[in-house]
Amino acid sequence: MPRSIPDVRGPLVECIPNVSEGRDRALIDRMAAAVSAASGVTLINVHADPDHHRSVFSFLGAPAAVEAAALALAETALVAVDLRRHRGTHPRVGALDVVPFVPLAAVAMSDVVALARRVGRGIADRHGVPVYYYGEAATRATRRRLPDVRGRGYDALAERLAAGDAPDDGPARFDARAGATLVGARQILVAFNVWLESDDLGAAQAIARTVRESAGGLPGVQALGMRLASRGVTQVSMNLLDCRRTPIPAAFDRVREEAARRRIRVQRGELVGVAPRAAFAGRAPTSVGLSDFTPDLLLDTHLEAATA
């Protein structure tokens, strides 16, 4: 469980690693404990999904503390997770799949880029896995967008490395167990999903196409249609890259409208991690399907406590 917020008055950074394990509760708890054990870091949320087979850890603190916690999580994840046995609906390229860092208070993006690259280098040196940088930490323009850096994922990684798409750090060698790790620096994004009362994957994928920016949909939105087999429903999984341009209600309403056109009902919304209050654009969380929303899911709650 997340522990109390430390009294932080200096620079504040958030890290949101995504690990390719969403079913083994004991292992997820061990990874959470590795983060919590780092002095000066607060674990604010753990979101695990068995169908995605993925866990998202959200923690914050001073830059040096967050760096230590990220490396501690990597130590646990890269020893325990074996992608040769991994099957899940969410795209992935590595056991420790993505490690983004976000400046929250009194820290420049350039400092967070340097932090991301130190962590990436530490992962590469300690574990011998290929590391690619993305977002503001990217070393080339073609690697800024996370979907571009992930490419065709783990299943195509060996071919990619053999073809000369060398990582930024670590060996250009395929590790079947660990894959590769993508380390980035970016601004705040909101991960928000909408569950549909339907098992029609084609319909979910079609709705996702109408929502995502790259297909002419909503600004700053990435979206995928997925099946949640264990729950008998489908899902439109979204990243809202700029919630000022497309807040949560705009994304939810658009998905609901597109679903209604196909005579599909929306079951619920789902927030992965935390979101800033501004992302709700003045609407109540219940209006976007978050019936069990609590204040600890607001980033503002933790920022106010950490900077008091």
pLDDT tens figures, 158-213: 999 999 999 999 999 999 999 999 999 999 999 999 999 999 999 999 999 999 99
Whether residue 66 contacts residue 15, with contact meaning beta carbons closer than 8 Å, is answered with yes
Choice among 47, 52, 53, 90 that is catalytic? 90
What is the pLDDT, as a whole number, of residue 4? Answer: 40
| pLDDT given for residue 305 in this prediction | 86
| 266-287 pLDDT, tens digit each | 999 999 999 999 999 999 999 9
In the residue annotation, 47 being an active-site residue is answered as: no
Using an 8 Å Cβ cutoff, are 59 and 35 in contact? yes
Distance of alpha carbon 216 from alpha carbon 210, whole angstroms: 7
pLDDT at res. 288: 98
The structural domains of the chain, ordered by start, are 12-185 (3.30.990.10), 190-306 (3.30.70.670)
Contact call for residues 116 and 134 (beta carbons, < 8 A): no
Residue 306 is encoded by which pair of tokens? 């950490």
Summarize the chain as % helix, strand, coil (round to 5). 40, 25, 35
Mean pLDDT by groups of 10 residues along the chain of 308 residues: 48 97 98 97 97 98 98 98 96 98 97 98 98 98 95 96 97 97 98 98 98 96 97 98 97 98 98 98 98 96 84
Rounded to an integer, what distance in angstroms lies between the CA atom of residue 239 and that of residue 218?
11
Instruction: Check: CB of residue 236 under 8 Å from CB of residue 218.
Output: no
